[in-house]
């Protein structure tokens, strides 16, 4: 397992982290589906045990993943290993309970205590403001920031995190670019929160940036902020297992039912890209995983790549793909294929760009 030192935490850890959203299983937060169907707890637990054997030392979860179920399953596992040897992050901000808002101070501190209890730990290495909705006129922003700072000052959390936009170039702020206001909003929140860590969605379908544009990785580096990359497998789409001619059906409580990435146009765009990549890199499951994971690992030499999984086979095959680096020539070819796909009118990048 490759090791990386994450800025913001200044800690060395595995380059691949276990993303524990999937293992929360089916769930809804009020009317909003937030889960994954068909997850078997014991298979998921066996996968957590396998992470340890595979050299993974990073675990990312959230209070809403399975409404506490992911945290509790991870907590069962953490109690069996040396907690201090691993990095554990969780998140808050989408679940309001009976409070007026998820970031109401009593709700935030209550969720934090429950998260520690669920995980069976006395501290978190990273605690993320999961949502960027701080209420009308950002009413709950100041209190959320001061509560997080207080938790960090007490040593209960070792770093504060927030999410970055899926599409970002610093130069878009103050222009008439379609994402200007989203960029300005992120920059305002970033200045206010002063995070140590960011999570960034980044995969083969992500937009690419020009030489004059500061992307999120360069931005984070300049600010000494660590980056956790998520959705490198496009939630399964980039493994090539979806048929673009038939829309997958997901049961109630599975967030993918409402996700544009699983609609025919986006699946067709992804299939087209995968077909071009397959000609150069091969089409076996390992070939697909290798290209997806290595592309994310190449984005930034210090970022940690979170991968979702539901069983031991998935986490083991994804980790195996992470140990098989692309040569300089392969990486150059990959970037050239992606640049061509982005310019192509039916490209997957354009079909998924508006997803938030
Ligand atoms: N997505 C977000 O908005 C977000 C936000 C903050 C943090 N994160 C963190 O980032 C982590 C990773 O993102 P993600 O889980 O959303 O997406 P992801 O890693 O791109 O996709 C995970 C899914 O890909 C499929 N998969 C995984 N390994 C596979 C393999 N070896 N072969 C074939 N299919 C495989 C599985 O789908 P099936 O379940 O269908 O088998 C799995 O659930 C999350 O778990 C979470 O900890 C995510």
Per-residue pLDDT for the chain (356 aa), expressed as one digit of tens each?
A: 999 999 999 999 999 999 999 999 999 999 999 999 999 999 999 999 999 999 999 999 999 999 999 999 999 999 999 999 999 999 999 999 999 999 999 999 999 999 999 999 999 999 999 999 999 999 999 999 999 999 999 999 999 999 999 999 999 999 999 999 999 999 999 999 999 999 999 999 999 998 899 999 999 999 999 999 999 999 999 999 898 888 899 988 899 998 989 998 899 999 999 999 999 999 999 999 999 999 999 999 999 999 999 999 999 999 999 999 999 999 999 999 998 876 543 333 333 332 22
Is the shortest distance between the CB of 314 and ligand 1 below 6 Å? yes
Is the shortest distance between the CB of 65 and ligand 1 below 6 Å? no
Is the shortest distance between the CB of 310 and ligand 1 below 6 Å? yes
**Gap between the Cα atoms of 63 and 149, Å rounded:** 19
Is the shortest distance between the CB of 318 and ligand 1 below 6 Å? yes
Q: 60 C-alpha vs ligand 1 centroid, how far in Å?
A: 11
Predicted local confidence at residue 356, as pLDDT: 25
Atom 39, ligand 1: residue with shortest CA distance: 310
Q: 23 C-alpha vs ligand 1 centroid, how far in Å?
A: 10
Is the shortest distance between the CB of 89 and ligand 1 below 6 Å? no
Q: Over the range 107-139, which residues count as b (16 or more CB within 10 Å of their CB) and which as e?
A: bbeebbebbbebbebebbbbbbbbbbebeeebe
239 burial via Cβ count (<10 Å: 0-12, 13-18, 19+)? middle
Is the shortest distance between the CB of 236 and ligand 1 below 6 Å? yes
Is the shortest distance between the CB of 15 and ligand 1 below 6 Å? no
Q: Are 142 and 136 in contact (CB under 8 A)?
A: no
Report the nearest atom of ligand 1 relative to the CA of 163.
6
Atom 4, ligand 1: residue with shortest CA distance: 230
State which of 21, 35, 124, 295 you would mutate to test the pocket of ligand 1, scoring each by most atoms of that ligand within 8 A of its C-beta: 21
Atom 32, ligand 1: residue with shortest CA distance: 314
Report the nearest atom of ligand 1 relative to the CA of 22.
43
Is the shortest distance between the CB of 232 and ligand 1 below 6 Å? yes
State which of 16, 74, 128, 231 you would mutate to test the pocket of ligand 1, scoring each by most atoms of that ligand within 8 A of its C-beta: 231
Q: 230 C-alpha vs ligand 1 centroid, how far in Å?
A: 8
Is the shortest distance between the CB of 112 and ligand 1 below 6 Å? no
Is the shortest distance between the CB of 104 and ligand 1 below 6 Å? no
Q: 245 C-alpha vs ligand 1 centroid, how far in Å?
A: 23
Report the nearest atom of ligand 1 relative to the CA of 233.
20
Atom 7, ligand 1: residue with shortest CA distance: 230
Atom 29, ligand 1: residue with shortest CA distance: 314
Report the nearest atom of ligand 1 relative to the CA of 316.
31
**β-pair partners for 129:** 92, 162
Q: What is the pTM of this model?
A: 0.94
Is the shortest distance between the CB of 308 and ligand 1 below 6 Å? yes
């Amino acid at each position: 397992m490759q090791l990386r030192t994450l800025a913001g935490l200044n800690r060395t850890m595995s380059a691949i982290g276990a993303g524990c959203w999937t293992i929360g299983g089916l769930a809804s937060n009020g009317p909003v589906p937030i889960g994954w169907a068909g997850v078997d707890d014991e298979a998921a637990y066996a996968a957590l045990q396998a992470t340890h054997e595979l050299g993974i030392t990073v675990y990312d979860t959230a209070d809403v993943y399975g409404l506490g179920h992911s945290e509790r399953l991870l907590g069962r596992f953490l109690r069996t290993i040396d907690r201090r040897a691993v990095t554990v992050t969780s998140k808050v901000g989408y679940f309001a309970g009976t409070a007026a808002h998820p970031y109401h101070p009593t709700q935030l501190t209550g969720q934090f205590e429950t998260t520690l209890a669920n995980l069976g730990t006395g501290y978190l290495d990273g605690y993320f403001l999961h949502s960027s909705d701080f209420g009308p006129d950002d009413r709950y922003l100041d209190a959320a920031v001061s509560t997080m700072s207080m938790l960090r000052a007490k040593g209960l959390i070792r770093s504060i995190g927030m999410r970055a936009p899926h599409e970002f170039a610093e130069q878009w702020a103050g222009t008439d670019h379609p994402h200007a206001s989203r960029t300005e909003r992120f920059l305002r929140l970033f200045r206010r929160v002063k995070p140590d860590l960011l999570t960034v969605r980044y995969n083969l379908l992500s937009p690419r940036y020009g030489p004059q544009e500061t992307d999120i990785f360069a931005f984070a580096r300049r600010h000494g902020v660590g980056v956790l990359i998520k959705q490198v497998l496009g939630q399964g789409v980039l493994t090539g297992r979806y048929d673009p001619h038939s829309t997958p059906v997901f049961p109630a409580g599975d967030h993918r039912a409402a996700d544009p990435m699983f609609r025919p146009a986006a699946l067709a765009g992804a299939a087209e890209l995968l077909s071009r990549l397959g000609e150069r890199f091969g089409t076996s499951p390992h070939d697909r995983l290798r290209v997806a994971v290595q592309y994310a690992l190449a984005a930034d030499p210090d970022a940690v790549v979170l991968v979702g999984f539901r069983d031991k086979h998935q986490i083991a095959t994804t980790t195996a793909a992470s140990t098989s680096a692309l040569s300089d020539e392969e990486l150059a070819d990959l970037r050239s294929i992606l640049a061509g796909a982005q310019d192509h009118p039916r490209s997957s990048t354009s079909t998924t760009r508006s997803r938030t």
